[in-house]
Amino acid sequence: MSLISTLARLEAVESGRAQPLATVRHRHLSPRPLVFVPLTTAGEAGAPLGALVGTDRESPRLLAVAQPRDRELRFAFLAELAETLLPYLDGYADDVEPAERNETDPETGKRVKVEVELCADAPQLIVPSRPGVDFVRLLGRSMRFRRTAEQDPDSPYPAPPRVPLLGRWLTHYGERARVPGSSLLLAMTDLLGRHWATGQSHLEDKHLGALLAWIAPPEGASGAEAALRAEVERDRGGQLVCPPAGPATDPAFDNKLLAPAMELYDRARQALAAAEDGAAADEQLARLTSAEREIRALLRGVLRPTWDAVWDGIDLVRELPEGPHVADRWTRDRWSFTGHRDRVRAGEPPQPRRDDAVSAAQKLAARETAQAQLEAQEALDDPLVLAGRRLAGEAFVGVVTDVVMAWSESKRPSPRPLLTVRTDDGPHLGVGVKAYRSLDGKPQCAEFVRYEEDGAIVLRLLDRMGRSRDPAEGSVPEAGESVAWTLFEHEQRGGPKLPEPEDTPWTHGGPPRTDAAESADAVTPEDLL
Amino acid sequence: MSTSLDSGPLPQAPATALRQRLAELRGPSAAPHPLDARALAALAANPGCKRRALLDGAGVDKAALARALGSPATFGQSQFAFMRGNAFEARVKADGGTELLRLLGVADPHGAVVPDLTAAGPEGRAARTALALREATGAGAWTLLDHPMLALEVAGSPAYLEPDAVVVHPDGRWTVVEIKSFPMVDGSADASKVGAAARQAAVYVLALERVAALTKDASVDHSVLLVCPKDFSNLPTASAVDVRKQLSVTRRQLARLTRVEEIASALPDGVCFDVESCSSGELASAVESVPSTYAPECLSACELAFHCRERARTAGAVESLGRAVRGELGGLTGVAEVLSAARGEWGDPADPTVAALRRAARLRAEALGAGALGTQAPGTAAREDAVAGRGTA
């Protein structure tokens, strides 16, 4: 954390309100995002308890599992989730625009441009917090290797038809969320924390209710008071007024409300199974239905505040103007969505449990590039982020006081003007250090030459001045102009090329095995522990 | 193995005076609160906190204390998680622990000995466990001790610990088994949960080493066996976890804990943490008389964290924003102090921290279009005019 954001936190403590960390929005927000607020059963892995999901703030769809240890009910939940999510995802798959992609021609080995489809927009999922992102990944992992009755007629517990497909999509979204700056799957706490500094620590910022309380405290209250209330205030029954944003539930809710309701449900189910005649069965069925309704009402009660909080967060973030480079990063997200759509359509198998060496290295390299790119783009988009880099000596803003024309010493001399820049910033400059500025959205490079006696910096411009002997109009700053320079590059180059997966050296496990397809997870007949 | 006991010889006779003093602090009627997993985690999370060291050392029930102070802790366990944990452990240990021993790589799990460890009281059970460990080591056969009881000297008084299981190898090695109900998906589990389990297991290893030091040919394995459900099923899978790091941390912390004597002797007379007999005002001043080191990490480990946070915030301490913030601000410790230094109202401009703060405040105000920090440092206005209107994109 830079000193500037520390200062913002201290100001927030003093003023009782969160302070801005950004002047523009650094993440893409879809005009129609899908909000997904999941809950999980304590102690069980990947056993969903309920969820609110939908694209309309006013009418969320409640999915609930009355008894999470019952496989049938869990499958019913997942099937319903697939019915809700997949149409949303599919809705973006067919609206395409033509695009070009560089590919290696398998015959000649040359790089050629190929005409491909690119989805015009991509679906965006928003969850309340980072554990929610992990839960999406876990749900994806738990579903993608399941077998449906159609895929495997011998499967003892076949999954509903579209569940494995949803698992693949959720896995893709979960993986994409690990790429810095991507916006396909966003956690609201991350989104808010990127744009505001609260008067509490990062750890406390993980609580969505408390974070929102700092950013938009209720009338007459300070952010600190409101955040404390969000954290600890309980009603008469001992229940949190602001339930945790999930997926974990509050133990008091589990013990006092949910467990008794589930017991009623279990008993009603047993009674229904034991009912001897039609009249008794009808009566027990009514009891079962009311017990189920009770559980649904309880879940809705703890999900709804979080649902509303996520939409409040969306409204807050939407008010900020979008940063100029956000669209560029969103295009990458669209490529990612299109790529996975193509893999699904081509009938490729689900993502493997573990990546092979080459894919893993590629993923890591891509994330590193994305991180560097994100940092550069945010600084270019936002003077407040740039201020942090200036403080760290990685950028400087200065006024050009003098321009002296000079030329390179080649046969066809090119312009290499010398600029004298006066700045109060303290950039880390040395011989041969390059500085970059943005010229019509493209980086222009300069080289540090020397310090003048009065501390002014002399730079030599190196490129983007056209082919002729005299620099093109507007390509050289004029005296009196104020220019922002960065010492980091604006665009990132990828690393060295990795070998094809088939050429993986033995030191890295050798080529991936193609004969062994990923098998489904082992299932045990008993489902109740 | 006894060579690794670098914390010196066993404290043979615990200082009775200290024990009496701690009992007084706890209150005459209160039984000492056992050092549970959370206290152990807190031990590693914030070693520098004297308040926690003293309260844990004296065995004060911090949850009750926090309630009495009006800032109750929010820890709790869902009965679903509790039930699942118990059911999974029962499943792993079913049938004489054959499944568990198979996970350890035992060829003939049915031939293993599972001694009966029942005895009266924790002391009796601890003695019975020590005896069983000696016998098993001498016998040279696979032995599974189900819920043994171990004693560990903590701050002059014995704490009793109950690991899930200890397995004795034929070669005299003892391995701690920790059974947890969080899943191991595709061979990896949640790092923070594994870390907590490792810290917990390290304390068991430490307690076992005290017994091993007195047992011929015995040694304690420095990697423990962590047993978890595999993927999304209830089938167990296991992984060896190296706990050497946690072991040395815990050993150091426990050695430090014995210094509660110093902390206790520095207290004013009449200080008492007895929830029964003291008013909340008395308790608050008693707690206040022991210095604390609050950090936001305490919130997930210590019952008193909400109380300490409240105090830190009221005092305007920068620690409440995180340890990193505290480190960044050098000698400045108060929120008001830092902000007035940043505004140029206070502080020595030659101090590098103050200079950096002023620069940061100036750059921030400039980026936000001035005036965000209220009063401006003198002499910055002209500069802002000079750079106004620059393009950054």
pLDDT (tens digit per residue) in A331-360: 999 999 999 999 999 988 899 888 888 889
Strand segments, DSSP code E, in chain B are: 143-146, 150-154, 157-161, 165-168, 173-179, 219-220, 223-229, 236-242
- The reply to whether residue B78 touches residue A526, judged by beta carbons under 8 angstroms, is no
A232 vs B: CB within 8 A: yes
The two beta strands, A125-127 and A434-439, are unpaired
Residue A90 within any structural domain of the chain: yes
- β-bridge partners, A197: A19
Q: How many CB pairs under 8 A join A and B?
A: 175
Which tokens in the block code for residue A26? 């650094």
Residues of A in contact with B234 (CB under 8 A): 524, 526, 529
CB atoms within 10 A of CB A391: 21
Cβ-nearest to A387 among B84, B182, B367: B367
A526 vs B: CB within 8 A: yes
Question: Domain of A273?
Answer: 260-298
Q: How many domains does chain A have?
A: 3
Scanning the structure block, which residue is given the tokens 């609160």?
Answer: B33
Residues of A in contact with B84 (CB under 8 A): 42-44, 529
A8 vs B: CB within 8 A: yes
**Shortest CA distance from B353: residue in chain A:** A3
Residue A253 within any structural domain of the chain: no
Most B CBs within 10 Å, among A5, A10, A242, A355, to test the B interface: A10
Whole-number pLDDT of residue A526: 61
Interatomic CA distance for residues B221 and B292, integer angstroms: 36
CA distance B126 to chain A (A): 31
Name the packing angle between helices A383-391 and A3-15 (round to 10°): 120
Residues A173 and A312 in one domain: yes
Whole-number pLDDT of residue A184: 97
Whole-number pLDDT of residue A309: 96
Strand, helix or coil at B62?
Answer: helix
- The reply to whether residue A521 touches residue B233, judged by beta carbons under 8 angstroms, is yes
Cβ-nearest to A522 among B235, B316, B324: B235
Strand, helix or coil at B132?
Answer: helix
Residues of B in contact with A5 (CB under 8 A): none
pLDDT tens figures, A28-62: 999 999 999 999 998 887 789 999 999 999 999 99
Interatomic CA distance for residues A457 and B46, integer angstroms: 47
Residues A67 and A201 in one domain: yes
Residues of A in contact with B336 (CB under 8 A): 14
Residues of A in contact with B318 (CB under 8 A): 10
pLDDT tens figures, A179-197: 999 999 999 999 999 999 9
**Shortest CA distance from A143: residue in chain B:** B232
Please, are residues B79 and B309 in contact by the beta-carbon 8 Å criterion? no
Q: Is the ipTM of this complex over 0.90?
A: no
A519 vs B: CB within 8 A: no
Domain ranges for chain B, please list them.
14-75+259-296, 79-254, 329-374
- The reply to whether residue B318 touches residue A42, judged by beta carbons under 8 angstroms, is no
Residues of A in contact with B88 (CB under 8 A): 529
CA distance A279 to chain B (A): 34
Record the pTM: 0.90
**Shortest CA distance from A7: residue in chain B:** B361
Residue A284 within any structural domain of the chain: yes
CA distance A507 to chain B (A): 21
pLDDT tens figures, B32-43: 777 765 576 566
Residues A228 and A265 in one domain: no
Please, are residues A24 and A320 in contact by the beta-carbon 8 Å criterion? yes
Residue A321 within any structural domain of the chain: yes
Residue A509 within any structural domain of the chain: no
Give counts: helices (H), strands (E), chain B. 15, 8
Whole-number pLDDT of residue A117: 92
Please, are residues A24 and A381 in contact by the beta-carbon 8 Å criterion? yes
Whole-number pLDDT of residue A468: 87
Residues A42 and A120 in one domain: yes
- The reply to whether residue B383 touches residue A424, judged by beta carbons under 8 angstroms, is yes
Please return the burial class of A153, using the count of CB atoms within 10 Å of its CB with bins 0-12, 13-18 and 19+.
exposed
Residues of A in contact with B372 (CB under 8 A): 11, 19
- The reply to whether residue B82 touches residue A19, judged by beta carbons under 8 angstroms, is no
Whole-number pLDDT of residue A513: 76
Q: Give the angle subtended at the CA of B256 by the CAs of B251 and B259, to the nearest 5°.
A: 145
DSSP calls for A227-271: HHHHHH-B-TTS-BSS---SSSPPHHHIIIIIHHHHHHHHHHHHH
Cβ-nearest to B339 among A14, A255, A529: A14
A40 vs B: CB within 8 A: no
CA distance B53 to chain A (A): 23
Residue A438 within any structural domain of the chain: yes
**Shortest CA distance from B337: residue in chain A:** A10
Which tokens in the block code for residue A359? 């894919």
Please, are residues B164 and B209 in contact by the beta-carbon 8 Å criterion? no
Residue A370 within any structural domain of the chain: no
- CA nearest neighbour of A426 among A384, A461, A459, A398: A398
Residues of B in contact with A387 (CB under 8 A): 363-364, 366-367
Residues A128 and A143 in one domain: yes
Residues A42 and A138 in one domain: yes
A326 vs B: CB within 8 A: no
CA distance B105 to chain A (A): 21
**Shortest CA distance from A10: residue in chain B:** B335
Residues of A in contact with B46 (CB under 8 A): none
3-state SS string over B244-310?
HHHHHHHHHHHHHHCCHHHHHHCCCCCCCCCCCCCCHHHHHHHHHCCCCCCCHHHHHCCCCHHHHHH
Q: Which segments of chain B have a pLDDT < 70? A: 1-15, 36-38, 40-45, 155-157, 257-258, 370-393
Most B CBs within 10 Å, among A6, A135, A490, to test the B interface: A6
Residues A337 and A398 in one domain: no
Phi/psi at A22 (5° precision): -150, 150
**Shortest CA distance from B309: residue in chain A:** A200
Domain B79-254 belongs to what architecture?
Alpha-Beta Complex (3.90)
Interface of A with B in 487-506 (CB under 8 A): none
CA distance B203 to chain A (A): 24
Cβ-nearest to B386 among A224, A390, A399: A399
Cβ-nearest to B232 among A45, A254, A388: A45
- The reply to whether residue B364 touches residue A9, judged by beta carbons under 8 angstroms, is no
Residues of B in contact with A382 (CB under 8 A): 367, 392
Scanning the structure block, which residue is given the tokens 């650094």?
Answer: A26
- CA nearest neighbour of A213 among A92, A305, A140, A94: A305
Residue A357 within any structural domain of the chain: no
CA distance B233 to chain A (A): 6
Residues of B in contact with A200 (CB under 8 A): 296, 320-321
- The reply to whether residue A45 touches residue B76, judged by beta carbons under 8 angstroms, is no
Interatomic CA distance for residues B151 and B135, integer angstroms: 18
Whole-number pLDDT of residue B148: 93
Residues A221 and A264 in one domain: no
- The reply to whether residue B87 touches residue A529, judged by beta carbons under 8 angstroms, is yes
A403 vs B: CB within 8 A: no
Whole-number pLDDT of residue A450: 92
Q: Where are the alpha helices (DSSP H) in A16-91?
A: 71-90
Q: Which segments of chain A have a pLDDT < 50? A: 528-529
Residues A203 and A95 in one domain: yes
B88's enclosing H/E stretch is helix B79-103
Most A CBs within 10 Å, among B83, B190, B192, B232, to test the A interface: B232
Interatomic CA distance for residues A440 and A457, integer angstroms: 23
